[in-house]
Amino acid sequence: MTGFAPFEILEGDYDAGMVLLADHAMNRLPPEYGSLGLPESAFHRHIAFDIGIEGLTRHLAGRLGIPAVLGCFSRLLIDPNRGEDDPTLIMKISDGAIIGGNYPISDEEWERRLNAYHRPYHRAVERTLAKAGASGRAPLVLSLHSFTPAWKNVVRPWHAAVLWDTDHRAVTPLLDLLRQDESLLVGDNEPYDGALRGDTMYRHCMTSGTPHALLEVRQDLIADEAGIAAWRDRLAPIFSRLNEDPALHEYKVFPSRTGAYAT
pLDDT per residue as tens digits for the range 211-238: 999 999 999 999 999 999 999 999 999 9
**Which CATH topology does 7-249 take?**
Aminopeptidase (3.40.630)
The answer to whether 240 touches 70, Cβ cutoff 8 Å, is no
Neighbours of 251 (CB within 10 A): 13
Distance CA 209, CA 125 (A): 15
DSSP codes joined into one string, 40-98: GGGGGSTTTS-TTHHHHHHHHHHHHT--EEEE-S-TTT--TTS-TT-TTSS-SEETTEE
Q: Which residues pair with 214 in a beta bridge?
A: 143, 163
What pLDDT does 3 receive? 82
What pLDDT does 152 receive? 86
Distance CA 34, CA 232 (A): 34
What pLDDT does 2 receive? 52
Distance CA 61, CA 69 (A): 10
If we measure between CA atoms, which residue out of 159, 135, 81 comes closest to residue 250? Answer: 135
What pLDDT does 262 receive? 46
Low-confidence residues of the chain: pLDDT under 70: 1-2, 260-263
